[in-house]
Amino acid sequence: MIPAAFSYQRPTSVADAVAALAASGGSAKVIAGGQSLLGLMKLRLASPETLVDIGRIAELKGHGATADGGYEMGAMTTYAEVLQDTGLDFAKDCLQGIGDVQVRNLGTVGGAVAHADPAADAPALALALDYSAVIRGPRGERTVPLDGFFVGPFQTALEDDEILVKLVRGPLPAGATGAYRKLEQPASGYSMVGVAVVVARSGGSITHARVAVTGVGDHPYRAKAVESALVGSDGSAATVAAAAAHVADGVTVNSDIHADRDYRAHMAVVYTRRAIDAALGR
């Protein structure tokens, strides 16, 4: 299909991009790699009056370790760039399962986070790694932890006149390991259930646990009941199984033509257990 008519702007600075969004009165959409938005526009599921293309804003590019041992990514950092740079094998496992080569070369991690597709993989990975979003708008700059950034399907804490500038996180706990496991829809590759896990152990006990889920609810979320059950435990198979059973606590589980509610809820438990076991090295 052909998208509805729209105007197009290509600012060369964040300030100009913010000004363009503010002037649109909420009728504009930011486009980065375009791998998600353009598909929705072709289906007429999204019909912005204006596209604000941030692809040539140098300030939004670049990625790497920070002085404190953390990491930061400009909003225009592509999946391919992260794959080339990251030393986290589980991050590679997640990102290599996104789309195909062309999508990974053009699609951006910042775009995936801002787009907030309920079945996208990158937001779950970023949640498990404790990233925060650095946001800029007419009222200045603010930093919002991703735990709380996603508020609904394709909905985030971003205001209509704000731009995601970069993603930042602090250092991982000593000895942290992780895993990503997903049940994907065969045709699209999107997650019907996707689970990212980061854990750290000391003295035989789990001291740090992050379990982030996509595809199950109406937005990516941290399964905090699972995390609480893991921290302080020995990480035994029985403990992991009991913890994984809480992955959908308080969540309205999605039901669609690909997986009904009961099946998806069961698979969420199965893939949470698999991801935790993999992160623990079993």
Verify that 183 and 259 share a domain, yes or no. Answer: yes
160, part of any domain: yes
Q: Which of 123, 146, 169 is the last residue of a domain?
A: 169
2, part of any domain: no
Q: What pLDDT is recorded for position 69? A: 94
Verify that 42 and 132 share a domain, yes or no. Answer: no
Tens of pLDDT, residues 134-179 = 999 999 999 999 999 999 999 999 999 999 999 999 999 999 999 9
Tell me, what CATH number does 142's domain have? 3.30.465.10
**Residue 39 CA: distances (Å) to CA of 14, 45, 61, 145, 155:** 25, 9, 24, 28, 17
Verify that 245 and 163 share a domain, yes or no. Answer: no
Verify that 145 and 191 share a domain, yes or no. Answer: no
Task: Look at residue 126 and tell me whether its pLDDT is greater than 80.
Answer: yes
Verify that 66 and 34 share a domain, yes or no. Answer: no
Tens of pLDDT, residues 39-56 = 888 888 888 888 999 999
193, part of any domain: yes
Verify that 43 and 80 share a domain, yes or no. Answer: no
Q: How far apart are CA 176 and CA 243, in angstroms?
A: 19
121, part of any domain: yes
DSSP line for 205-269: EEEEEEEEEESSSSS-EE-HHHHHHHTTS---HHHHHHHHTTTTTT------SS--HHHHHHHHH
Cβ-based neighbours of 29, under 8 Å, separated by 6 or more: 37, 46, 48, 50, 51, 52
Verify that 233 and 272 share a domain, yes or no. Answer: yes
Q: What pLDDT is recorded for position 43? A: 86
Q: Domain range holding 127?
A: 58-169
152, part of any domain: yes
Confidence of residue 193 (pLDDT cuts 50, 70, 90): very high
Confidence of residue 118 (pLDDT cuts 50, 70, 90): very high
Verify that 225 and 255 share a domain, yes or no. Answer: yes
Q: What pLDDT is recorded for position 212? A: 98
Q: Taking residues 90-114, what's their average pLDDT? A: 93
Tens of pLDDT, residues 67-88 = 999 999 999 999 999 999 999 9
14, part of any domain: yes
Verify that 129 and 182 share a domain, yes or no. Answer: no
1, part of any domain: no
Flag the least confident range among 55-64, 125-134, 243-252.
Answer: 55-64
Tell me, what CATH number does 39's domain have? 3.30.43.10
Verify that 133 and 66 share a domain, yes or no. Answer: yes
**How many domains are there within the chain?**
3
Q: How far apart are CA 9 and CA 124, in angstroms?
A: 31
Tell me, what CATH number does 206's domain have? 3.30.390.50
Confidence of residue 99 (pLDDT cuts 50, 70, 90): confident
